[in-house]
Homo-oligomer: A and B are copies of this chain.
Amino acid sequence: MNVSPPKSALNVSCEECPLLCSDSFRAFSREELEFVSAFKRGELASSTGSSILLEGSNSPHLYTVLSGWGFRYKMLEDGRRQILNYIFPGDFVGLQNALHTEMQHSVEALSDMVFCVFERSRIYELYVKQPELGFDITWLAAREEQMLDEHLLSIGRRTAIERAAYLLAFLSDRAAAVGLFEKNSRIEPLTQQHVADTLGLSLVHTNKTLRKLCDNDTIAWHDSGFEIRDAEKLKEIAGWPGVSGLARPFL
């Protein structure tokens, strides 16, 4: 669990943000883009396995994922870990702490990642000057809540195999929505330990559960990653319809 050296550089101006090309995101006015560009403080690059935010630490920043993916998690004192949700390009990170000075969760990179960095102290300004962007942030928070609700239902009430099917379908849908892993359709890197810590299961039992899905030919597990072989069957097993594909905002 090494903390990456925070490399900072303002490489991409918001007007040329690569996310603007994607269908998944809403269109922005020129004025909005200019404002966000001025609001943006720089970029942060971090590599696989490194921590961006740590529970209990004090960050004056908010982040938007520009590229790569990772996850948010919490830990109990004795080391038990629960992965709360995954973060993908366009996701906003750090909001959960608008209220506390101390972070209530940690964030770790799965792949190499780049973040846009914003200053927490200036966020109120955004609500005053660009109400629509303020509204967008609420939209994103509401969306995160929806995902957490579904995760809660999953961990609380679905069986091991249903949970696993749900998670893999969920990750696949979210990745597809932002065009991640399009080339080889393999979602990686992700270990079975990550899956276990997301599902609230032990590593061994997670392995046996994934094995059933492999034997089914519903998925294929490769070294540190997986491939969806039958997305419909996965969703059927999970009893889950999939994520909504409405155009969404981002910062």
Are A76 and B157 also in contact (CB < 8 A) when A84-B149, A141-B141 are?
yes
Closest chain B residue to A248, Cβ basis? B99
Number of copies of this chain in the oligomer?
A: 2
Judge if A112 is at the interface, Cβ distance under 8 Å.
Answer: no
Q: Pick from B97, B132, B145: contact of A141, CB below 8 A.
A: B145
Judge if A212 is at the interface, Cβ distance under 8 Å.
Answer: no
> Are B76's CB and A158's CB within 8 A?
yes
Judge if A98 is at the interface, Cβ distance under 8 Å.
Answer: yes
- Place the interface of chain A in its size category: 35 or more
> Are A135's CB and B124's CB within 8 A?
yes
CA distance A22 to B95 in the complex (A): 26
CA distance A95 to B143 in the complex (A): 9
A 19-40 contacts with B by CB, 8 A: none
CA distance A198 to B153 in the complex (A): 10
Judge if A138 is at the interface, Cβ distance under 8 Å.
Answer: yes
Residues of B within 8 A of A144 (CB): 145
Closest chain B residue to A102, Cβ basis? B244
Q: Pick from B74, B141, B150: contact of A142, CB below 8 A.
A: B141
Judge if A194 is at the interface, Cβ distance under 8 Å.
Answer: no
Judge if A127 is at the interface, Cβ distance under 8 Å.
Answer: yes
Closest chain B residue to A198, Cβ basis? B156
Judge if A4 is at the interface, Cβ distance under 8 Å.
Answer: no
> Are B82's CB and A153's CB within 8 A?
yes
> Are A145's CB and B143's CB within 8 A?
no
The digit string for A124-139, where 1 denotes a CB below 8 A from any CB of B, is: 1001100110110111
CA distance A24 to B251 in the complex (A): 31
Q: Pick from B81, B100, B139: contact of A99, CB below 8 A.
A: B139
> Are A152's CB and B153's CB within 8 A?
no
13 A-B pairs, CB-CB below 8 angstroms? A74-B153, A82-B152, A82-B157, A84-B152, A95-B138, A96-B142, A104-B146, A127-B132, A131-B134, A138-B138, A141-B141, A144-B145, A145-B145
A residues contacting B by CB (< 8 A) are: 72, 74, 76-77, 80-82, 84, 95-100, 104-105, 124, 127-128, 131-132, 134-135, 137-139, 141-146, 148-153, 155-158, 197-200, 239, 244, 246, 248
6 closest A-B pairs by CB = A156-B200, A141-B141, A127-B131, A148-B148, A82-B156, A80-B157
